[in-house]
């Protein structure tokens, strides 16, 4: 069918034509944001899930809802290499500048900007990647003592006070939160704990891989109580069908029921796969309705595209020893797998593989659902590993 009208949108963070199955989380967040704005208690929220379940697009959607509700929303994506202060400082500056425009808030917001200047000056010693314009001179003693835990807390308090005076709230959106180093994650948690204790309207809305709750708990033991961890999983069959059928119908075309059954089955409801298969089924179909035969014929090219984009991006960043580890896991099936079994498949000891395993966790490729267990963070990654490293050469 006409490629120009193909509604499907596979891609990291690419908004889907229909955001299916996420209404209740969005509603919960709208309530939480409205409560914070009204000066009431509400927890920060963290979306947790595997790659490709739709955390980024959901986070962006919640952010739009926040802006619509007149909440100051700042958005950060944590890359593997940048420091938290470097990411936060420019965004907090923009929020404080915006807040400073209102007469009754100006003094507090300017105080916040002075705090920011002190914070940046003090933090530059340790984090040389901070780049931000400063609008005021620092005030000695304000967020400038050089201890991230202490200074970030002050900075959040100053920001919260300004937001409160403006009858609004500040929501900090951070994607890929698992990449924030643990010694920076702990100060972030402490700062949020502080604003929550003082009923100041500053919240975090984060997203990350399944290793994140464990990481946060290790950084600060009370993190589990402070945050509302929301598991974001594959879509229920009814929602998966809707994610496909609604965009097709919106284009004035149709899809057969058996075709929808097959699509929900092969994708197992994972949003990224739904978009990719939907796109290819549309391309393969000569005319509406899209049939079961179209879906089956589309599978080969859908898988090829996934291999080249969704799966491949991650594999390219790995060392040979890390790829071998993943390949050995794949040999054992979808997982989770015991460390001992993986070591055995590689004819190595668990101890000698520990650095490889921990590097793969840091890189976000695998995680540990429980002690000694290892699972992929990407759905259906075992199939991909077997396709990309066929045979048993990897054992050598």
Binding site for ligand ADP (CB under 6 A): 9-16, 18-22, 49, 51-57, 243, 271-272, 274-275
Supply the minimum distance, in Å, between the C-beta of residue 239 and Mg ion. 19
Name the residue among 292, 298, 299 with its Cα closest to residue 255: 292
Which CB atom, from 123 or from 207, has the smaller least distance to Mg ion? 207
Choices 48-56, 273-281, 284-292, 369-377; region in contact with Mg ion by CB under 5 A? 48-56
Binds 19: which of Mg ion, ligand ADP, none (CB < 5-8 Å by kind): ligand ADP
Q: How far is the CB of 153 from Mg ion (least distance, A)?
A: 28
> What residue 54 binds from Mg ion, ligand ADP, none (CB within 5 to 8 A, per partner kind)?
ligand ADP
**How far apart are CB 175 and Mg ion at their closest, in Å?**
6
**46 Cβ partners below 8 Å, 6+ apart?**
177, 204, 205, 206, 207, 208, 212, 213, 216, 227, 228, 229, 230
Shortest Cβ 271–ligand ADP spacing (Å): 3
Of Mg ion, ligand ADP, none, which one does residue 272 interact with (CB within 5 to 8 Å by kind)? ligand ADP
Selected binder of Mg ion within 6, 44, 56, 111 (CB under 5 A): 56
Question: What is the nearest approach in angstroms of ligand ADP to the Cβ of residue 59?
Answer: 8
Residue 340, binding choice from Mg ion, ligand ADP, none, Cβ under 5 to 8 Å by partner class: none
Burial of residue 307, with CB atoms counted within 10 A of its CB: 0-12 exposed, 13-18 middle, 19 or more buried: middle
Shorter beta-carbon distance to Mg ion: residue 56 or 196: 56
Q: Exposed/middle/buried for 235, CB within 10 Å: 0-12, 13-18, 19+?
A: buried
Q: Hunting for tokens 């609004």 — which residue is that? A: 168
Question: Judged by CB, which is closer to ligand ADP: 21, or 85?
Answer: 21
Work out whether 264 is an interface residue with Mg ion (CB under 5 A).
no
355 binds, among Mg ion, ligand ADP, none (CB under 5 to 8 A by kind): none
Which residues on adjacent β-strands are paired with residue 76?
A: 174
Residue 210 interacts with, from Mg ion, ligand ADP, none (CB under 5-8 Å by kind): none
Minimum distance of ligand ADP from residue 207's CB (angstroms):
7
The count of other CB atoms within 10 Å of the CB of residue 311 is 22
- In the complex, what is the shortest distance from the CB of residue 289 to ligand ADP, in angstroms, rounded to a whole number? 20
Question: Which one of 56-64, 76-84, 100-108, 147-155 is the stretch in contact with Mg ion (CB under 5 A)?
Answer: 56-64
| The pair of three-digit structure tokens given for residue 302, joined into one six-digit string | 């859908």
Look at residue 22 and give the partner it binds from ligand ADP, Mg ion, none, a contact being a CB closer than 5 to 8 Å depending on partner kind.
Answer: ligand ADP
8 upstream amide cis, omega within 30 of 0: no
Query: Rounded to whole angstroms, how far apart are CA atoms 198 and 253?
Result: 54
Nearer to ligand ADP, 14 or 145 (CB): 14
Query: Is there a contact between 384 and 326 (Cβ–Cβ < 8 Å)?
Result: no
Least CB distance from residue 320 to ligand ADP, whole Å?
26
C-beta of 46: minimal distance to ligand ADP in Å?
Answer: 13
Nearest residue to ligand ADP by CB is: 54
Q: Which is nearer to ligand ADP, 167 or 305 (CB)?
A: 305
Q: Given the rule CB under 5 A, which residues bind Mg ion?
A: 56
């Amino acid at each position: 069918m006409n490629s120009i009208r193909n509604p499907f949108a596979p891609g990291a963070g690419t908004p889907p034509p229909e955001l299916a199955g996420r209404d209740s989380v969005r509603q919960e967040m709208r309530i939480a944001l409205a409560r914070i704005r009204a000066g009431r208690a509400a927890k920060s929220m963290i979306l947790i899930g595997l790659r490709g379940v739709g955390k980024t697009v959901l986070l962006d959607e919640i952010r739009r809802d926040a802006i619509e509700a007149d909440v100051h929303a700042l958005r950060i994506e944590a890359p593997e290499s940048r420091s938290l202060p470097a990411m936060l400082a420019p965004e907090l500056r923009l929020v404080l500048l915006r807040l400073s425009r209102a007469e009754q808030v100006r003094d507090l917001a300017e105080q916040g900007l002075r705090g920011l200047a002190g914070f940046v000056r003090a933090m530059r010693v340790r984090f040389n990647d901070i780049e931000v314009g400063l609008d005021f001179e620092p005030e000695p003693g304000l967020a400038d003592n050089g201890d991230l835990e202490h200074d970030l807390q002050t900075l959040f308090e100053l920001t919260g006070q300004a937001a409160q005076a403006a009858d609004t709230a500040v929501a900090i959106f951070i994607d890929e939160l698992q990449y924030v180093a643990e010694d920076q994650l702990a100060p972030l948690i402490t700062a949020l704990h502080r604003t929550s204790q003082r009923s100041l309207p500053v919240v975090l809305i984060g997203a990350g891989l399944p290793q994140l709750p464990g990481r946060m708990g290790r950084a600060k033991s009370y993190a589990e109580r402070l945050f509302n961890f929301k598991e974001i999983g594959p879509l229920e069959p009814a929602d998966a069908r809707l994610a496909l059928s609604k965009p097709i119908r919106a284009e004035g075309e149709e899809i057969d029921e058996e075709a929808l059954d097959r699509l929900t089955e092969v994708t197992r409801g994972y949003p990224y796969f739904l978009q990719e298969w939907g796109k290819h089924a549309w391309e393969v179909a000569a005319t509406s309705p899209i049939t079961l035969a179209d879906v089956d014929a589309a599978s080969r090219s859908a898988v090829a595209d996934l291999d080249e984009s969704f799966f491949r991006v991650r594999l390219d960043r790995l060392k040979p020893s890390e790829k071998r580890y993943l390949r050995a896991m794949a040999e054992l099936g979808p997982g989770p797998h015991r460390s001992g079994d993986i070591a055995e498949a590689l004819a190595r000891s668990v101890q000698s593989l520990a650095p490889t395993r921990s590097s793969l966790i840091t890189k976000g490729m695998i995680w540990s659902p429980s002690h000694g267990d290892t699972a992929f963070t990407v759905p259906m990654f075992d199939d991909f590993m077997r396709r990309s490293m066929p045979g048993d050469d990897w054992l050598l």
